[in-house]
Amino acid sequence: MALGTMIVILSSYFSSSVFMIIAQHLTMGFPEPEIDLKNPGILLFLVGIIGNFYHHIRLSKLRSGTGKGAKEYKIPKGGLFDFVICPHYLFEVLIFWGFALISQTVYSFAFALGTTCYLTGRSYATRRWYLSKFEDFPKGVKAIIPFVF
Tell me the domain boundaries of the chain.
37-62+74-149
The pLDDT, as a whole number, for residue 112 is 92
* Separation CA 51–CA 137 (nearest Å): 23
- Check residue 1 and give its pLDDT: 56
Cβ atoms of residues 141 and 79 within 8 Å: no
pLDDT given for residue 96 in this prediction: 93
Quote the pLDDT of residue 20: 78
What pTM, to 2 d.p., does this model score? 0.79
The predicted structure's pLDDT at residue 68: 60
Which stretches in the chain have pLDDT values below 70? Answer: 1, 64-71
